[in-house]
Structure 1
Amino acid sequence: ISMKSKNPDSFMFHTPGIEMVKLQSKAFGIPLIEQETKGEKEVELKDLQKVIEKAKKKYNIKGITTGALYSNYQRERIEKIGDSLGLKVFSPLWHIDQEKLLREIIENGFRFIITKVAAEGLDKSWLGKEVNSKDIDKLVEINKKIGINIAFEGGEAETLMIDGPIFSKKIEIEKADIKMESKICGELLVKKVKLINK
């Protein structure tokens, strides 16, 4: 399920690179239901509930998995929707050590890039960067100095998964532009992308 919020400051849904979810769906080989929402606080949850209900009917889903690490706001609202629809909710990453999680993601063969930065300590040089173990070391140092959430749970940055064990094809970005609003706030605008067989 992909919620396309018209509000870039939505409390629930990320907007940077959302158009890439369709390509990720093809790379995973799983179906996708897309739904637009105005992104109004709390109203957007009703939109989400409707589309989850649609997925339950169409695909006979039994549960919802969240990627929440520390956001009670998101986790509790998803749990409420799950309860109302009779679906189990799983939050397997809940309160996992963030550095350990990032290192395990990379060690397990997942590849991701930074698509948005919005925090002190992060700048233009991070945009489009495929994160590796040395970058995690840098994020840990930035965290010690400034206190950013290294898994970006507070919106410090946004990422895009481009490959991993669950991908039947990998995503290759052929052309992208960088748009900076300030020294520490900017976005990678993907212009041309393709799927590559593995």
Structure 2
Amino acid sequence: MKIKVAMMWSGGKDSAFALHRVLQDKKYEVCCLLSTFSKETNRLLMHGVAEEIIDEQAKSIGLPLIKVFVENSQVEGYEKAMEIELHKLQKLGINTMVFGDLFLEDLRQYREKNLEKIGAKAYFPLWGMDTKSLINEFIAIGFKTICCCVNLNVLSEEFLGKIIDNNWVSSLPKEVDPCGENGEYHSCCIDGPIFKSALSVENKEVVIKAYPLNEIELKYSFVDIQLHN
């Protein structure tokens, strides 16, 4: 019997590649995608991608999308909302969540700890992969993804809103992880082997937001990706 899983879906390259891997693994049955949104903006937490883009991704992939809305993007609210939704999934026989995380040990432990509280498990199909090899393979097998957010402390806006291809990756500063696993950038996937058809999108306005972290102010630039009418 296959293991029923839900895919934690950010709409970006890592979750897309992780989903691709799991769909190819005969041990697993992917039952749905699960995404977390801000109640205030109807946009993905962290990535800032509009809800309609995630809807269109799920439609093209052909999997149900479960939406979790979090008020004020607070950690406590996120954990409570996720716990409620995960209990619902468990009643459907889904007891494993798939994540696209690559090497951040503290993040992995955080996810595993929260799932253990309710007797659920986490699976990380990309864990430990060399990030340069991963991004090269991601591009080579036909995925197309747009850089939707950059950390301005380490990357300039010239990387924003562009397709992540070999030239884009080779232009990254040496100190930036090729997959942006340290939060250097985020992405929005619009085509690839998991999609039945490519998303037709266009870049709209750019917004800069600042987040205080200890004595440092982190500045992020987001491009508003919208469906092309």
TM-score by length of 2: 0.70
RMSD of equivalent CA atoms: 2.6
Moved more, 88-97 or 172-181: 172-181
Structure 2 match to 1:123: 156
Deviation of 1:80 (Å): 2.2
Q: How does 1:1-198 map to 2 (within 5 A)?
A: 1-5=34-38, 13-19=45-51, 20-38=53-71, 39-58=73-92, 60-139=93-172, 142-143=173-174, 147-180=175-208, 185-193=220-228
Matched residue count: 184
Structure 1 match to 2:3: none
2:132/2:179 contact within 8 Å kept: yes
Q: Distance in 2 between matches of 1:86 and 1:181?
A: 37
Q: Distance in 2 between matches of 1:104 and 1:2?
A: 25
Q: Distance in 2 between matches of 1:51 and 1:193?
A: 32
Q: Distance in 1 between matches of 2:153 and 2:74?
A: 27
Q: Distance in 2 between matches of 1:157 and 1:169?
A: 25
Q: Distance in 2 between matches of 1:124 and 1:190?
A: 15
Q: Distance in 2 between matches of 1:115 and 1:174?
A: 11
TM-score by length of 1: 0.80
Moved more, 154-163 or 46-55: 46-55
Deviation of 1:136 (Å): 1.5
Moved more, 68-77 or 172-181: 172-181
Q: Distance in 1 between matches of 2:197 and 2:67?
A: 21
Q: Distance in 1 between matches of 2:226 and 2:39?
A: 20
1:98/1:151 contact within 8 Å kept: yes
1:116-158 deviations in Å (ceiling 9; x for gaps): 111345222212100111222112xx02xxx223311222111
Q: Distance in 2 between matches of 1:18 and 1:55?
A: 24
Q: Distance in 1 between matches of 2:177 and 2:40?
A: 23
1:4/1:15 contact within 8 Å kept: no
Deviation of 1:179 (Å): 2.9
Provide structure 2 residue ranges, at least 5 long, that are not aligned to the other structure: 1-33, 211-218
Q: Distance in 1 between matches of 2:47 and 2:134?
A: 23
Q: Tell me the secondary structure at the aligned position of residue 85 of structure 1.
A: coil
